Amino acid sequence: MSRILLATFGSLGDLHPSLAVGRAIVARGHQAVIATSIEYREAVEAAGLAFAPLRPSIESLGERRAVTKRLMHPLRGAERLLRDYVFPSLNDSLADLTAAAPGIDLFVSHPLTCTVPIVAQAQGRPWMSTVLAPQGILSKQAPPRIAGFNVLQIGQRLGPRVYDIAWNGMRRALRRWEQPLRAFRAAHGLPDTGQVMMMEGQYSPHGTLALFDAVLATPRSDWPEPLTPCGAPLFDGQTPAAAELERLHRFLDDGDAPLVFALGSAAVWIAERYWQHALEAAQALGKRAILLTGEGTSLRTPPGICAMPYMPYSQVFPRAAAVIHQAGIGTLSQALRAGRPQLITPVAFDQPDNAERAAALSVARVLPFQKVTAKRMAVQLDALLKDARQAEAARALAQQLRDVDGAGVAADALIRKARG
């Protein structure tokens, strides 16, 4: 029996893939340990998995709304995430993973858990890396859409010379951000490889798992090797109380299919005006709606509009007339399987790139979060609901993804590596 540690950091969108894969590992008769922020202990243990604390904690980052606003900045969010939160915690992260390491046969990294390779090397054990969304593979041949200023795709359209300047400029910027990581590695006797962590430096020589659906990205020759395409590992979160589930199904059964609005677990902290726009757009269209607002949102709703903190996406998305969401990769994966047309309102990080890929599949329209108003949302939704081709494309794609078992494929690959 192998014992596999999966390290992760971030929002529930980062945690849930590890929980899905961990459960698949356990279902195959092996052990899985999830190393992550202390706030997620309850969620990990409720999923039937072993927990190991991994700093930084979410609480230590600061007040949730203020932190989310800083990190969701379209131009500086990624830099702030690395410089202000990830790199200052490297010593703590290394200590926590070292404490969890005894008895582990294989370590699995998340793009932001940069101390995993150091611990694996110290333990004389292999490690594998994961990529959660297509943007995580910064392919020069097929550049992703970058939030804020889309420098790579613009540079590519302007020709090879301009594109090389854009690509090399981005690489220099990332390397500059990562100076604290290089200093940390040097302090632990590790050489400067010249690699950029957010690019080729994140990949393990033992293999990388692509934890997103293959329909979203065509493999390129500059993708990491060896790489295992897995498909999205889905995890719905904790089951709500029976009374809340009954309230949901009573609302769903009481009229036409509603519009369903969801923003994952991070963007909800900066979405005060968004929900009001969503409510007004639904009313303008004469549509019922469900708003999944997250915790701590107070919203007065008229008849025909239901606001709830959370519901499992797999239960509510397939019952929607359309799904309106932010295109976090987990939310998008659930929406693709629901077979319903989508209006995507991307905020930051990988979300604009995920949204563009969904639109290219003819299952979604895109309205950036920063441009959302009730009127714009109503116009986009009206066009979406009248487009029979997008509805049919959404149904066909859901059928195509029906048998994809991303968690199972990933678990099998990890178990093979752990066994050596």
Give the tens place of pLDDT for each residue, 250-270.
999 999 999 999 999 889 899
Is the model's pTM score more than 0.85? yes
Token readout for 331 is 């939310």
Give the tens place of pLDDT for each residue, 84-104.
999 999 999 999 999 999 999
Which residues neighbour 354 within 8 Å (Cβ) at sequence distance 6 or greater? 133, 134, 135, 216, 327, 328, 329, 332, 344, 346
What's the Cα-to-Cα distance from 331 to each of 76, 305, 327, rounded to whole Å? Answer: 23, 21, 6
- Reply yes or no on whether the pLDDT at 331 is more than 80: yes
Asked if residue 33 lies in contact with residue 27, where contact means CB atoms within 8 angstroms, the answer is no
CATH number for the region 242-401 comes to 3.40.50.2000
When pLDDT is averaged across residues 309-321 and rounded to a whole number, the result is 95
- Reply yes or no on whether the pLDDT at 147 is more than 80: no
Can you give the pLDDT at residue 352? 94
Residue type for position 15 = L
* CATH match of 3-140+199-232+404-419 with 3.40.50.2000: yes
Task: Provide the mean pLDDT of the chain.
Answer: 94
Q: How far apart are CA 208 and CA 377, in angstroms?
A: 38
Token readout for 380 is 């986009």
Q: Length of the chain in residues, anyone?
A: 420
Token readout for 354 is 């995920």
- Reply yes or no on whether the pLDDT at 113 is more than 90: yes
Give the tens place of pLDDT for each residue, 361-399.
999 999 999 999 999 999 999 999 999 999 999 999 999
Q: How far apart are CA 349 and CA 352, in angstroms?
A: 7
Give the tens place of pLDDT for each residue, 62-73.
998 899 989 988
Helix or strand (DSSP H, E) at 323: strand 322-325
Alpha helices in 41-101 (DSSP H): 41-46, 64-71, 77-80, 90-100
- Please report, for the chain, the start and end positions of each structural domain, with discontinuous segments joined by +: 3-140+199-232+404-419, 242-401
Burial 284-319 (b: 16+ CB within 10 A, else e): ebebbbbbbbbeeeeeebeebbbbbebbbbeebbbb
- Reply yes or no on whether the pLDDT at 189 is more than 90: no
Give the tens place of pLDDT for each residue, 192-249.
888 998 899 999 999 999 999 999 999 999 999 999 999 999 998 888 888 888 998 9
Can you give the pLDDT at residue 191? 86
- Reply yes or no on whether the pLDDT at 150 is more than 90: no
Q: Output the CA angle 405-408-294, nearest 5 degrees.
A: 70
Domains 3-140+199-232+404-419 and 242-401 share a fold: yes
When pLDDT is averaged across residues 175-198 and rounded to a whole number, the result is 91
Give the tens place of pLDDT for each residue, 292-301.
998 767 778 8
Can you give the pLDDT at residue 296? 66
Beta strands 227-229 and 208-210 are: parallel
When pLDDT is averaged across residues 340-344 and rounded to a whole number, the result is 98
Q: How far apart are CA 406 and CA 234, in angstroms?
A: 7
Q: Output the CA angle 97-99-101, nearest 5 degrees.
A: 65
Residue type for position 209 = L
Token readout for 97 is 């993973």
When pLDDT is averaged across residues 328-356 and rounded to a whole number, the result is 96
